Amino acid sequence: MNKMSNIIQKGHETLRQIAEDVAIEEIGSEKIQKIIGQMKEALDEQDDGVAIAAPQINESLRIFVVSHKVFKKEGEDYDLHKSKVFINPEIVNVSKDKEEMDEGCLSVRWWYGKVKRSKQATVRAYDIEGKLFEMGAGGLVAQIFQHEIDHLEGILFTDKAERLEEIPPEKQ
């Protein structure tokens, strides 16, 4: 099921804003926890969604969520039933080695293209409880880190993609 209830689409001004940091003391607040809940819900409604950034639900905050589906696929040693929340994330390291990867976006439905991304990326962020952590990854997770942090900077994958093509769901 692909409901588009809360996910804003290309052309919406929030997608082009630089998102605001979340105050550390606000992480546990009802407001921030509610936004994270809305992000998880919007992401879980998408069969093909692997991650979502707060600006995609019209909240210009530096938060993104990576779906539990990704960690299951990647075989990471995290709780496979939990999506991972990244608050005030920053990329602290990327490999010089890059590769062209297929990419799409829940806010640029049904467009796909090739984007050159670093093969490895390490992110430092706060988790849902306000604890600072670092996580390094390769492959799909590294790609997600770079794509979602672009969202927080007001950048869409279509700004970087080559060979863009529209593939409506009935052709997939």
Annotated catalytic residue within 59, 148, 153, 165: 148
Classify 168 as helix, strand or coil: coil
User: Is 148 known to be catalytic?
Assistant: yes
Classify 121 as helix, strand or coil: strand
Q: Which residues contact 121 (CB under 8 A, 6 or more apart)?
A: 91, 93, 94, 95, 136, 137, 141, 142, 145, 146
Q: Which residues contact 4 (CB under 8 A, 6 or more apart)?
A: 109
Give dist(CA 108, CA 74) in Å, integer.
25
Give the residue numbers annotated as catalytic, written as ranges: 148
